Structure formats: structure tokens, C-alpha cells
């Protein structure tokens, strides 16, 4: 397992994402690690991240899958380039499309584990598939088309 999360390698000017930016003190600060051939994030929702009593809000699940996947895409791009994560110039991806299937209600109060694998890398595009587990059960599945951040999107 990598010692430092993928997101902790993002340069400061692109590290303010509400979902995973290490510099966004209001946000979720999701951390994603490579473990063998998968990416893994864990996150424990707050009690108010609820849909209905006892279950996790679906928008949060979508958000976690989103940031997990763009982080995974960056790691995959580094690997494809044969470079260490965090080496310059950095890879930073944004979301082209996000799909989430909610398979069963996700219980609130336990850590969620998100695991991602690479479906395809094609030019500036990486497709990431992921699962979200709670209590050992898959509660949601995601598919994200991540696109390398265009320059006009970057902070000035």
C-alpha cells in the first residue's frame, strides 16, 4: 500500500476540492491509496449524512465515488507513464460522467470502503469502475469517465 494518499500528491493549487482536497477544511478530505491492483478509500459518514434514518445519503455516495475515481485515474495515468505518483508534471483529472447504481440501502454509522479498478485508459480519458461496501456488503457500484483536467479549468 502506498504510504501517502493519491490526493495528498495533488499540487496545492488543485487541492481544494470539497470531496478530496487536503486544503478544504470544510470538505470530506477523501484519501485514496493503491493496494496491489486496486485503489481503496475509506470514509465514515457523519450522522447528518443521512437519506432516511439509519441510511447514508446517496449524494454523498456519489461524491465519494466521484473523488475516488478521479484520484484512481490520476494514479493510473502515472503508472501508465511509468512515473511515481506525485512526480512532475502532475496528473489531475475531472469527471466527464458519473454513474452510480444503488443496489441496497447503505447503513449509516460504519466505515464505507470504496474500491476501484481501471476499465480503460485511452488518451486523456480513464474509465474507473468501483464498488462501495458497508459491513462487508456491496451497497453501490460506480462507473466514472475521468478526463485529464484541461488547462482552462486550472486555477490561475
Q: Which is nearer to a second copy, 24 or 131 (CB)?
A: 24
**Residue 151 binding a second copy, by CB under 8 A:** no
Nearest CA-CA partner of 147 in 98, 93, 97, 99: 93
Nearest CA-CA partner of 109 in 42, 55, 41, 64: 55
For residue 27, give the DSSP letter: S
Contact between residue 140 and residue 132 where contact means Cβ atoms under 8 Å apart: yes
Q: Which is nearer to a second copy, 79 or 124 (CB)?
A: 124
Minimum CB separation of residue 3 from a second copy in Å reads 25
Of the candidate residues 5, 9, 19, 76, the single one contacting a second copy (CB under 8 A): 19
Dig out the grid coordinates for 147 from the structure: 478526463
Stretches 41-49, 71-79, 113-121, 129-137: which one binds a second copy (CB under 8 A)? 41-49
* 71 phi/psi in degrees, rounded to 5: -65, -45
**Residue 26 binding a second copy, by CB under 8 A:** yes
**Residue 121 binding a second copy, by CB under 8 A:** no
Q: Tell me which residue has cell 481501471.
A: 118
- Hey, how many other C-beta atoms are within 10 angstroms of the C-beta on 57? 17
Minimum CB separation of residue 25 from a second copy in Å reads 8
Map residues 48-87 to x or -, x wherever contact with a second copy holds by CB under 8 A.
Answer: xxxxxxxx-xxxx-xxx-xx--------------------
* Beta-strand relationship, 125-134 and 137-148: antiparallel
Q: Give the interface with a second copy as residue ranges (CB under 8 A).
A: 13-14, 16-19, 21, 24-27, 46, 48-55, 57-60, 62-64, 66-67, 94-102, 105, 149, 153-156
Amino acid at each position: 500500500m502506498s504510504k501517502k494518499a493519491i490526493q495528498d500528491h495533488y499540487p496545492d493549487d488543485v487541492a481544494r476540492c470539497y470531496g478530496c482536497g487536503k486544503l478544504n477544511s470544510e470538505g470530506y478530505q477523501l484519501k485514496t491509496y493503491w493496494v496491489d491492483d486496486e485503489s481503496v478509500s475509506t470514509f465514515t459518514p457523519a450522522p447528518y449524512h443521512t437519506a432516511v434514518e439509519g441510511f447514508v445519503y446517496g449524494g454523498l455516495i456519489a461524491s465519494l465515488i466521484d473523488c475516488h475515481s478521479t484520484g484512481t485515474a490520476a494514479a493510473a495515468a502515472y503508472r501508465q507513464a511509468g512515473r511515481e505518483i506525485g512526480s512532475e508534471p502532475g496528473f489531475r483529472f475531472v469527471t466527464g460522467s458519473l454513474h452510480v447504481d444503488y443496489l441496497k440501502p447503505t447503513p449509516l454509522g460504519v466505515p464505507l470502503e470504496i474500491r476501484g479498478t481501471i476499465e480503460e485508459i485511452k488518451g486523456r480519458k480513464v474509465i474507473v469502475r468501483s464498488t462501495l461496501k458497508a459491513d462487508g456488503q456491496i451497497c453501490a457500484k460506480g462507473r466514472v469517465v475521468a478526463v485529464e483536467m484541461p488547462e482552462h479549468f486550472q486555477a490561475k
